[in-house]
Amino acid sequence: MLILFIADTSAVQDAQRQVPVRIGITPVFLDYQTAFLDDWREYLESQLQRPVEFRQRSTYREIMEMLMQEELDFAWICGYPFVRFRESLRLLAVPIYQGQPLYQSYLIVPESDTDTQSILGLRNKVFAYSDPDSNSGYLVPQFQLHVSGEDRNNFFRRSFFTWAHQKVVEAVAHGVADGGAVDGYVWDTLAKVNPALTSRTRVVMKSEKFGFPPLVARRNVDNGAFQKVQEVLTNMTNDATGSDLLERLNLDGFGRGNVRLFDGIAVLAETIPAP
Amino acid sequence: MYRDLSLRYKVPLRISILILIVVLATTVSLLARSYLIFKQDLFQSSENMGRIMARTLTPALLHDDVWGAYEIINAPFSIDSKDASLQPDMLIVLDRSERVYVSTAPRQYPILSDPALKDEEIAIMKQRLLQRDSMSPEILEMPGFGNIYVVTPIDSDGVLLGRLVMLYSHDIYINRFMTFMRQAAMTAVLIILVLLPIAVYWGRRAAAPLVELSNCMGQVGSSIPVELDCRLTQGGDEIGQLGAQFQRMIGQLREKEAMEKQMVVSDRLAAIGRFTAGIAHEINNPLGGLLNATNTLHKHGPQDPLTSKTVSMLERGLMQIKDTVAALLVEAKPEFHPVTHQDIEDTRLLVMPAAQKKFARLDWVNELHRPVNIPSTHVRQILINLLLNSIEAVPDHGRISCEVSMSDDALRIATNNQGEQISNEELEYLFEPFVSGRESGRGIGLWVTYQIVNTLDGSIEVSSAEDDTRFIVTLPLQRAA
């Protein structure tokens, strides 16, 4: 009996070991960094002793739907969907950027535009948002228009979504859009790796600071796995490979975070109805 | 100027000009064709590209995805294409109301602007497009502006959502064409460089026989040189035939010249003969009288010693004159009996002593085995004259040969001797009387021989080379009298 029991336990462990950890990501934030994702996956697998799968979708909305339907265990999403679906989610980790788990939304215009001082200078212009579920790329400018008393739906002559922060920068740099709202962290990182692109844009305004787009888990994820993944993420600074990966992400590390970090976003979300 | 140019230059020049014309014509026609092909290529590929893009643009327009549409039309510029030659300069997506939906030159054609307001060319293009209002791709060339517009409708289920406008600069195929033209020009120059030397070589070869023939003909002036320096090509072609014909003509001219020379000699000899005979007759008549008178004086005149001595002297002198005159006159009708083998042998005996005196060797061939109808006196006289001349001509211990032979209708006498060569000029006057270069003899032996041969309607030939002078006398057999 004893022998059978032991065998059974190891089989369960084996099975558990074989079930992959599924992490959802979007190009909104991490844009087409396949090589990086491969290295990160390898790192996480070796730390977790479990297979890891990154599942990419082009919008936050799709990632959220997959989380709700338990097709994903974890996901790296924006603070805006997090506050909207807070009941169904558990905060797994918050990236530490420049020493804080915070970031800003940047309002950018083409470099040739030297007049615009705020979003109000872009009346009747063409504006690029990143994703309707993005805080920095949609909610923040919408809120700014709202508090300025503008009709946020007709303020711009035309607005469109690029479904990625980097592409907002591209749209503004190429002159397709006269202005755009972009994740400050993405713009800063791009300024490091692709200064030719960011130099064609000008940051007009930086917003107040918000909780950095967090990594979340669906509410009913296995607690052991949750703890393990959280531990691995927050300990990435402790080894060379992890530090190297963090450097490539232009992040200082991951912290456990606090849901209160996203209260600022929640205020905006309450004011601006979801699109 | 060109007319006087030698064929040596004219033929290569003509071939070279021909080659130049052919190469130029080929290159130009090739270029013209490739220009059309380039244009067609561009139209074809741009039309295809338009169709593909229009199809991928449909969902973007349906979902109002401006950025998606921009990424689609910007794709040709974002990829580093190796062959960018067929790339459009700009793409614009127009919405249903002909305003800019998105363009690859957003600063120039911003979203929702009316491109026609900004650009006269596009305004004209739009007007032309509206006139057609077709649902298939249109290629609009704008002659005044030099650009080409490929306009493809973007539709969903037959409903027009917008239009994709691709703008190609005219330079695009001009550039490509220029590249091709440079290559073609280089190839043409290479071909010409290879072909021209060949053309010059062939041309010269083709002209060479004519030039040579012309040189040959140039050497023939009023007289024909003994040695013509000619290397005429053999062969059955026209130039070969011309060469052969020329050689034949030269041969005939030579013959004619020889004949003319001979005629002059014969004429002269005949004139001299008539002249000599006249004088001989004129002398003979008074001479006969003088001899009769001396004879009478001798027999019946005073018998004193002085007179008889004087008369004898006169008689001897007159007899000598008679002999000389007689020698000059060939007796037309001597006593006639046919010449026989023995007659020939007799002459041998007659000349032997003279030959022995010079220790000369006399080779003798006598093939006259039957009497022939030619006066023996004449034959003997001819033979004796020729042989004595020969013996005199040869040096001591020299060699002389004599051959008498028969053919069907003629008697042939040939003598050879090893005497000194007779020059061409001497040969011309050889048969004239009193021209002998020798000191002894009267110099009428050959003259007399010539006269006899003439009388017998025969011919005499003489040729002289180093150590071999030859006389050939041919006497036709006479009809039996």
Please provide the DSSP assignment of B404-429 as one string: EEE-SSEEEEEEEE--PPPPHHHHHH
Q: Are residues B345 and B362 in the same domain?
A: yes
Contact A185, A147 (CB under 8 A): no
Q: Are residues B337 and B263 in the same domain?
A: no
Predicted local distance difference test score (pLDDT) of residue B430 = 82
**Residue B76 in this model has a pLDDT that exceeds 50:** yes
Q: Are residues B246 and B157 in the same domain?
A: no
Chain B residues in contact with A126 by the CB 8 A cut-off are: 110-112
Mutate to test the interface with B, among A112, A129, A160, A166 (most CBs of B within 10 A): A160
Residue type for position B267 = D
Q: Is residue B24 part of a domain?
A: yes
Q: Are residues B340 and B448 in the same domain?
A: yes
Chain A residues in contact with B64 by the CB 8 A cut-off are: 160
Cα distance between residue B338 and residue B480, in whole Å: 10
What value does the mean pLDDT take over residues A100-104? Answer: 95
Q: Confidence class of residue B189 from pLDDT cuts 50, 70 and 90?
A: very high
Q: Are residues B316 and B342 in the same domain?
A: no
Q: Are residues B13 and B158 in the same domain?
A: yes
Q: Is residue B189 part of a domain?
A: no
What value does the mean pLDDT take over residues B40-64? Answer: 89
Identify the CATH number of the domain in which residue B82 sits: 3.30.450.20
Q: Confidence class of residue A3 from pLDDT cuts 50, 70 and 90?
A: very low
Q: Are residues B323 and B348 in the same domain?
A: no
Average pLDDT, chain B: 84
A160 contacts B65? CB cut-off 8 A: yes
Domain count, chain B: 3
Q: Are residues B63 and B166 in the same domain?
A: yes
B106 contacts A176? CB cut-off 8 A: yes
Q: Are residues B243 and B339 in the same domain?
A: no
Q: Are residues B404 and B256 in the same domain?
A: no
Tokens 């990966």 locate to: A245
Q: Confidence class of residue A13 from pLDDT cuts 50, 70 and 90?
A: low
Region label for A99, one of left (φ > 0), alpha (ψ between -120 and 50) or beta (otherwise): left
What value does the mean pLDDT take over residues B179-190? Answer: 90
Q: Is residue B227 part of a domain?
A: no
Which of B67, B102, B106 has its CB closest to that of A161? B67
> Which domains does chain A show, CATH number per domain?
2-101+211-271 (3.40.190.10), 105-207 (3.40.190.10)
Predicted local distance difference test score (pLDDT) of residue B325 = 79
Q: Confidence class of residue B78 from pLDDT cuts 50, 70 and 90?
A: confident
Predicted local distance difference test score (pLDDT) of residue B6 = 84
CA–CA min distance A262, chain B (Å): 30
What value does the mean pLDDT take over residues B341-366? Answer: 89
Q: Is residue B208 part of a domain?
A: no
Interacting residues of B115 by C-beta distance below 8 A, sequence separation 6+: B92, B94, B99, B100, B103, B109, B122, B126
Q: pLDDT by residue (tens digit) across A33-60?
A: 778 889 999 999 999 999 999 998 888 8
Give the residue from B179, B196, B228 where a domain finishes: B179
Does B3 contact chain A (CB < 8 Å)? no
Give the residue from B131, B147, B179 where a domain finishes: B179
Predicted local distance difference test score (pLDDT) of residue A4 = 42
How many residues does this entry show for chain A? 275
Which of B64, B65, B70 has its CB closest to that of A176? B70
Q: pLDDT by residue (tens digit) across A155-188?
A: 999 999 999 999 999 999 999 999 999 999 999 9
Q: Are residues B47 and B118 in the same domain?
A: yes
Residue B148 pairs in a beta bridge with B141, B168
Mutate to test the interface with A, among B61, B70, B104 (most CBs of A within 10 A): B70
Q: Is residue B59 part of a domain?
A: yes
Local structure of B368: helix, strand or coil: coil
User: Which residues in B126-148 are b (16+ Cβ under 10 Å) and which e?
Assistant: beebeeeeeeebbbbebeebebb
Chain B residues in contact with A157 by the CB 8 A cut-off are: 111-112
A161 contacts B112? CB cut-off 8 A: no
Predicted local distance difference test score (pLDDT) of residue B414 = 92
A158 contacts B67? CB cut-off 8 A: no
Which of A158, A161, A163 has its CB closest to that of B111? A158
Q: Confidence class of residue A30 from pLDDT cuts 50, 70 and 90?
A: low
Domain range enclosing B313:
238-327
Predicted local distance difference test score (pLDDT) of residue A228 = 93
Predicted local distance difference test score (pLDDT) of residue B80 = 65
Does B107 contact chain A (CB < 8 Å)? yes
Q: pLDDT by residue (tens digit) across B312-353?
A: 888 888 888 887 777 777 665 556 788 889 889 988 888 898
**Residue B220 in this model has a pLDDT that exceeds 70:** yes
A29-33, B291-295, B470-474 — most confident range: B470-474
Give the residue from B272, B295, B327 where a domain finishes: B327
ipTM computed for the complex? 0.84
Predicted local distance difference test score (pLDDT) of residue A6 = 44
Which of A162, A175, A178 has its CB closest to that of B67? A162
Q: pLDDT by residue (tens digit) across A52-97?
A: 999 988 888 999 999 999 999 999 999 999 999 999 999 999 999 9
Predicted local distance difference test score (pLDDT) of residue A2 = 41
Q: Confidence class of residue A7 from pLDDT cuts 50, 70 and 90?
A: very low
Predicted local distance difference test score (pLDDT) of residue B84 = 58
